[in-house]
Structure 1
Amino acid sequence: MEDTSGETNLQQPPKRRRSTFFERRDSIMPQPAPDNILDSQATIIDGDEKRKEELLRYYDQLMNEKQQWKREINEKRNKYHDLRQQLEIATASSSRSKLDYSVLTSEDIEFLNAKVNISKLVEIQQDLHKSLMQTKEFYRKASQLNNVIVSHCENKINEVTDYIIENSTISD
Structure 2
Amino acid sequence: MIGVWAALVSLALAHAAVAQSTSIAFSDMAIDPDSPIELSADQLSVSQPDGTARFQGNVVVAQGDLRISAGEMLIEYAEGADGQRTRISRLLASGGVTVVAPAAAAEAEEATYSIGDSTVVLTGNVLLTQGPNAISGERLTIDLVAGTGLFDGRVRTVIQAGGN
Answer whether TM exceeds 0.5 for this pair: no
Larger RCO: 1 or 2 (CA < 8 Å, sep 6+): 2
Query: If the TM-score is normalised by the length of the shorter chain, which range does it land in?
Result: under 0.3
Bigger radius of gyration, 1 or 2? 1
Structure 2 length as normaliser, TM-score? Answer: 0.18
